[in-house]
Amino acid sequence: MKAENAVLSTVAIFTLAFILLTLNSSNSPSEEKNWQIANVCLADHNSLESHEHVQLAIIINGSEVEIESNIGIGDPGCDGMKGIHTHDNTGRLHIETPSVMPAPLGAFFEIWGESFSQNEIMGHKNDSNHEIVLTVNGEVNHLYDEYMMQDGDQIRIEYRGI
């Protein structure tokens, strides 16, 4: 009887641990989003349904971050161009898709391999002394990575002291 109780107790503990880990992982803020546009891979500029442009500026503690050329071009698993990419280091994002689909700002950061959310930009996190402010066309926007970019948008992300 004691051995049976020990086995049942052990199984109960492992079951509880599994449930807690499963619940915790589904609420994880680092969970990747499943943005369709991040998986687009274009061979060329032919047969595009959309071709839009957005201007992005990132300021970290008063210094502008260079947005590299060729982000999303020739990436592993995509010899062509991702649905959001750059051609030069001016901060101009090219949104090109074979069909109409949303283009969330966070998808660009996923393609780039950099972090961006309401709590973090490129490894810089909100804390009691710093904040992240997103403006779109001069207006503060609270959607952060979920913001759906539109043709002609002027986007500014600033990490700054409070």
d(CA 159, CA 121): 7
* pLDDT score of 32: 60
Distance CA 35, CA 46 (A): 22
Class of domain 36-161: mainly beta
Q: What is the C-alpha separation between 93 and 149, in angstroms, rounded?
A: 10
Encoding tokens for residue 51?
């071709």
Q: Contact 84/109 with Cβ under 8 angstroms?
A: no
How many CA atoms lie less than 13 Å away from 144 in the CB half-sphere?
12
Pairing of strands 50-60, 154-161: parallel
Tens digit of pLDDT for each residue in 81-110? Answer: 999 999 999 999 999 999 999 999 999 999
Q: What pTM value is reported for the model? A: 0.78
Residue 1 has pLDDT above 90, yes or no: no
